[in-house]
Amino acid sequence: LKPVDKVKEAANEAKFTLLDAAADYFHQLLLYAPEGQAARAYLERRGLNEDTIAAFRLGFSLPAWSACQTHFGGQGYSNEDLLAVGLLTENQEKGTVYDRFRNRFMIPIRNIDGRVVGFGARTMEKDGIPKYLNSPQTAVFDKSNILYGLSSAKRHIREARQVVIVEGYMDVLQA
Per-residue pLDDT tens, the chain, 175 aa: give them: 566 688 888 889 999 999 999 999 999 999 999 999 999 999 999 999 999 999 999 999 999 999 999 999 999 999 999 999 999 999 999 999 999 999 999 999 999 999 999 999 999 998 999 999 999 999 999 999 999 988 988 888 889 999 888 888 988 998 7
Per the CB < 8 A criterion, the answer to whether 97 and 88 are in contact is yes
Is this prediction's pTM over 0.75?
Answer: yes
Torsion 150-15-17-107 (CA) sign: negative
- DSSP label at 50? H
Q: What is the 3-state secondary structure (H, E, C) of 104-157?
A: EEEEEEECCCCCEEEEEEEECCCCCCCCEEECCCCCCCCHHHCCCCHHHHHHHH
With residue 78 as reference, give the H or E element that holds it. none
pLDDT for position 71:
98
The amino acid present at 43, given as its one-letter code, is L
